[in-house]
Structure 1
Amino acid sequence: MTRTLLSVGNGILASLHTIEGTPVEDLLAIARSVGWGASKILRAYYRGKSPDDGSDQDLQIQDKKDGPVTAADLAVNQYVLERLQSALGTEHFGYLSEETYKASQSPFPQSWVWIIDPLDGTRDFIDQTGEYAFHLALTHNGRPALSVVACPELERLYFAVLGGGSYVETPDGTVTQRHVSTCDRPEDLTVVVSRTHRDGRFNQLLQALPCQNQLAVGSVGGKIAALVDQRADMYISLSGKSAPKDWDMAAPELILTEAGGKFTHFNGDPLRYNTGDVNQWGGLMASNGVCHDHLCAEATRLLTELDATR
């Protein structure tokens, strides 16, 4: 179903009217504009060009503890922070970004916090798989309320506001609502998986689950896009020596749940953001929701058995 921008805005306003004095439809317009702007920058760097003048541009890859960082990450991060802070200020909104976060950082005191991943899937970006994304989420007291996930190489921008549904926008301005699949047999579900970030314990869990159909996609944003586009039904994250971070999960979570899916820890607890620890430890499951509780319980049982034999 394709809707006009006005009708999408009216649906959203039925849930939230204003945030710190700014109409939600205005905040969403800012976030979508920022998402398209970030996509333009990322696409230029992906092709080895400067987004400013089209000249050749080196990615300037830096290897860091949590993975590589490129000139594209830094350029998008600067662009997003400048756009948001210029429009909204820093009194009522906090800004948690992958590229500016410090390990000693306490939770932001503001109840409204923007969580930014300028380039989700940096390894895929470097390896030229095309499966990278941009994430932007506005959280309220630790839970997502508005989000954008842009997949630049697909030329798609996914967005959602709490209570307003999940949508995808294309460069020509067409906006279409998204819904997860209704597949209700665990053995028929397709699990979207990473090509990397998979240790032996995680692979053993995947092999033991009833759902054996798999689709490989790079970034978390791309994985959740696959769920709301009904190309897959389920995604699992399992921390090991490291864990996914707030900026990996906050924006994709709302895109999925507003499309009718579920995204929780294996024990059913919701994810919490801006807690002071940006790591999302343990097992996380995102799904179309139909078999969610059963599969969370099954994953917990299988992990207990696997750990007992290690």
Structure 2
Amino acid sequence: MSVPINSLTQSILGIAKDAGAEIMAIYEKDFAIYEKQDTSPLTEADLAAHNVIVNALESVSDLPILSEESADIAWDERKSWQSYWLVDPLDGTKEFIKKNGEFTVNIALIEDGKPTLGVVYAPALNKSYVGVVGEGAWTEVDGAFTPISARKHDGSEVWKIVGSRSHQSPEIQNLLAQLSGDTELVAMGSSLKLCLVAEGEAHLYPRLGPTSEWDTGAAHAVALAAGANVTVLDPANPLDNNADALTYNQKESVLNPFFLVSA
């Protein structure tokens, strides 16, 4: 069976899976054993995955690395980066603690402020999302790759919106009110929210809460590679067709603005 991704992307997928194995070794333990320790299973899993990823990336690339677990790199240094790796070793802390499986390992290549390669691996679900902008996007399970693409709303079907299971803000209600037809909320944890739009399981993912750049970089690359758009969202005009694309490392703060993932 041929593999549709290039050798670098294969390496990044392998690194994400190695990090996921470290996470799962902790995830499958009884968390009660940590109650008398200074650390938490979440902290241990985060750091273990971070170390695996950073060490492996340094062996295949000389590009700088920005990870959630090593985010204290001065802007004066970061602002000169044209290309770098953006890493979230464990995204979905609530999902990890709840043990619902919806947490991910995220590795992205950022070039000139844009994500161009991304791997999102959900180790508890045994599923990866891989995207290379300009080449394509796939899901991967046990070495089998399936092409994915974002799916536009056909005008008659129910709008599928990625959102909260229990809480809809006034801003979300404003967006839903601008859509013609019925809407259905699709709940998902971590960076898998963006991936739902990338694989055509949802039409829109409006994010009107805080995120950091490492939360979104890898899944953003998958979404772009699958034909979706990720744009800055103005709550007053959420469906603005002329909205700016979400970018990375263009300012000192690593916090993202609100954004919309759309097909």
Equivalent residue of 1:31, what SS?
helix
Equivalent residue of 2:81, what SS?
coil
Instruction: Work out whether 1:278 is the aligned partner of 2:254.
Output: yes
Q: How does 1:123-202 map to 2 (within 5 A)?
A: 123-171=94-142, 173-185=143-155, 188-195=158-165, 200-202=169-171
Structure 1 residues 206 and 218: alpha-carbon distance in aligned structure 2, compared to 1, 3 A threshold = farther
Deviation larger for 104-113 or 93-102: 104-113
- How many residues were matched structurally? 250
Contact 1:111 1:140 in 2 (8 A): yes
Residue matched to 2:92: 121
1:142, 1:131 → 2: CA distance? 28
Residue matched to 2:18: 37
Equivalent residue of 1:154, what SS?
coil
Residue matched to 1:208: 177
Equivalent residue of 1:96, what SS?
strand
1:46, 1:247 → 2: CA distance? 22
2:120, 2:145 → 1: CA distance? 14
Contact 1:168 1:177 in 2 (8 A): yes
2:55, 2:169 → 1: CA distance? 41
Q: How does 1:27-106 map to 2 (within 5 A)?
A: 27-48=8-29, 58=34, 70-89=43-62, 93-102=63-72, 104-106=74-76
Structure 1 residues 40 and 238: alpha-carbon distance in aligned structure 2, compared to 1, 3 A threshold = same
1:158, 1:146 → 2: CA distance? 11
Question: How far is 1:254 from its partner?
Answer: 1.4
Question: How far is 1:234 from its partner?
Answer: 1.1
Contact 1:194 1:218 in 2 (8 A): no
Residue matched to 2:211: 244
2:38, 2:203 → 1: CA distance? 34
Contact 2:22 2:45 in 1 (8 A): yes
Residue matched to 2:238: none
Contact 2:231 2:259 in 1 (8 A): yes
Equivalent residue of 1:213, what SS?
strand
Structure 1 residues 170 and 98: alpha-carbon distance in aligned structure 2, compared to 1, 3 A threshold = same
Question: How far is 1:36 from its partner?
Answer: 1.2
2:26, 2:38 → 1: CA distance? 12
Paired residue type of 1:229? E
1:149, 1:57 → 2: CA distance? 29
Question: How far is 1:87 from its partner?
Answer: 2.4
> 1:157-186 CA deviation, whole Å, 9 max, x = no partner?
111112001011112x11111112232338
Paired residue type of 1:182? K
When normalised by structure 2's length, the TM-score is 0.84
Given candidates 259, 268, 287, the residue that maps to 2:226 is 259
Contact 1:190 1:215 in 2 (8 A): yes
Question: How far is 1:82 from its partner?
Answer: 0.7
Equivalent residue of 1:75, what SS?
helix
When normalised by structure 1's length, the TM-score is 0.72
Question: How far is 1:285 from its partner?
Answer: 0.5
Residue matched to 1:297: none
Equivalent residue of 1:181, what SS?
coil
RMSD value, Cα: 2.8
1:186, 1:80 → 2: CA distance? 44
Question: How far is 1:207 from its partner?
Answer: 5.5
Equivalent residue of 1:235, what SS?
strand
Q: How does 1:10-25 map to 2 (within 5 A)?
A: 25=6
